[in-house]
Structure formats: C-alpha cells, structure tokens
Structure 1
C-alpha cells in the first residue's frame, strides 16, 4: 500500500478539532451549522455525519464514509442520495494513494454538478486531511468529533498551509503520482 502513514506522535494533534466545533448530537445539530449554506462544495467525512446530513435534507456534494462509526457499529444511509459512488481502500492511520485518487476523481465529478460518495474499505478518518488540500477555497468539510459533536472546517489559505505542514510530517510509505500532486501540486 503506497501513500502516507500517520506517526503515533501526530495522533493527538489530528484528534483536535480543526474548525468550529458544534457541540451536541443528532441530526438537528447539522441544522445549526451556518457555514453549510454558503459552502461550495459541501463535504462530509464519516458515516454518522453523512447519514445525519441526508436525513435533514442536506445531501453533501461529496461524502467519504466507510460504513462504520468509531470502527464498530454499522451505519446505514441512503447511497441513492448520490449520483455516483466510488469505492476505494484505505487502511487505518493511512492516506493511501487509492484514497487520494478516489478523492480527485470525486472532485472532478462534483465540478460537473454530481453528488458523490467515496466509500472506503478500511478507514476514512484521515480523508479530511487530503480534502483540505484538494478542495477549493470556500469549501466546507463536516466531520464528527467523537463524544463532542460536529466540526465545521472551512477551507481557507491558513487551513491549506496547516494541512500541508501536517502532510509533510507524515511518513511516506511508497510514492505515487497522486501523492506527489498532494504534497506539491495545487
């Protein structure tokens, strides 16, 4: 598996919310996220956030999910809410070349007005990291903060610099064109 591996030393830093934390739980919490209305595109990472968004009529332009929450429970949501489903693989604590490729493909489809689900065999948690780098300014990523609520991460220049710094601290476990693009391209 080529891509990046998250070193143990970075886990704590990535566990912190990197956006505005909306505390609480349940679908209604998503209706409090003001940033959704002006976000283009609007993305979700995680099954509960994606399922909740769909339930309240806020189908994301791009969703990344793995069928589980907290690596255990199965979470079901309407995959029919999406125009396209892209399947990929990504092991825990990694950003695989396959995941990066799937995200790039999904973003192209989003540009064409399609709503896309990237379904990950493995773990999707770290998908937020490459998404910040790949998404345009003004995009919004919603992801769950376990036990606390939902984080609304608005993509801006500051976040892109922060994420590039984080990406460069991760361990490269095999190069691919997608990884070179992620680390150097814009």
Structure 2
C-alpha cells in the first residue's frame, strides 16, 4: 500500500521522543493506552508488569531473529492477529489490523510476517490523544512518543511523503484524508 522512498529515510534516524533504558521509568511517564512497536520493547514493557494495549512484533530485532526467551514471552495466541507487511512498507492488512486493535477493549498482539519497523507512524495516527507509542531505537533504548496533535501531524506528514496510495492507507486506518493526501 505504501513504501518508504529513499529521500525520507533520514527522517527516521533521530528518535521521535525521549529515549529510555528503564521500562519502569518509561511507563511512569507514559500516557495510556500504551502501544508497543517491536519485540524487545514489548518484552521489556511486559517484564515491567505492563501488557501493552497493542503490541506489533515480527520476531526480529536488528533484522535478526529474537532469542527464545523473548519469543516465548511474547506468545499470545488468544489475542493475536497475523498480517503480512514487507520491509520498508505499510501494508493494508497491517493498517486495518492496527486500527481494529486500537479500537479493541482487549490487548492485541499483531504478529507481522515481514517487518514492523514503520508501524510507529500509523500507530500514532490511530492512537487516542494522550496515549503513548513506544518503539525501539537500535543501540539506544526505547523511544516514548506522546500522542498529541503535533505528533499526529508529524507522522501524517511522513506518511503523506511515502510512495503509494496515501488516501487508501488513511482510509484503512479510519483517518480522514486531507486535500494533500488525495
């Protein structure tokens, strides 16, 4: 549905919020609900006693398979949604599953066949104001993104600069398209 063009890859080098190495400290600063993007982030939040409202995992960290301890800790077959999402892209199945998971009253784990690296963008867009999206910054820690009008505008701007059907992607998320994204 959407792919990341080379000219905006640099926009993802700097964290979108403060970086934490302590999950308990992050959780004390986080709004609710918490949406986690990444296996290691989800693992640390759960070990700190918090099951994210939505977790998006792909069985990998730094493009390598996560170890058995993390894989076993994240097994959640009762509340699992399986989607396909290629690297460097946002698929319709991921966007629809994300929108449905955020609207759910139960914690949902979205298991991605492919890659979940770009899921932070749509997660911020569909999360309610005051929520927190957490993702991993390789070699640094966990990034806390507070969901505000400003962060939603920043993520929308990045999505609108991606290649593909931006209007369709926003529709899949249940987010209103702007004139620029049509």
TM-score range, shorter chain: 0.7 to 0.9
Displacement of 1:182: 4.2
1:25-83 Cα distance to aligned partner (Å, 9 max, x none) = xxxx10111323xx221111000011111112111111000011111132414345675
Distance 1:52 1:151, change over 3 A: same
> How does the TM-score come out when normalised to structure 2?
0.86
Structure 1 segment 7-22 matched on structure 2, within 5 A:
7-22=5-20
Q: Which consecutive unaligned segments of at least 5 residues does structure 1 have? A: none
2:176 aligns with: 185
Q: Which consecutive unaligned segments of at least 5 residues does structure 2 have? A: 178-182
Distance 1:5 1:136, change over 3 A: same
- Please say if 1:104 is aligned against 2:99: yes
Q: Report the count of equivalent residues.
A: 173
Structure 1 segment 1-186 matched on structure 2, within 5 A:
3-22=1-20, 24=21, 29-33=22-26, 34-36=28-30, 39-75=31-67, 76-79=71-74, 84-109=79-104, 112=105, 114-172=106-164, 174=165, 177-182=168-173, 185=176
Cα distance in 1, alignment partners of residues 15 and 45 from structure 2: 19
Moved over 3 A (4+): 79-83, 174-184
Displacement of 1:17: 0.4
1:89-142 Cα distance to aligned partner (Å, 9 max, x none) = 100000111110110121122xx2x01100000000100000111111011011
Distance 1:183 1:104, change over 3 A: closer
C-alpha contact (below 8 Å) 2:4/2:163 kept by paired residues: yes
Distance 1:119 1:137, change over 3 A: same
> How does the TM-score come out when normalised to structure 1?
0.85
- RMSD over aligned Cα atoms: 2.1
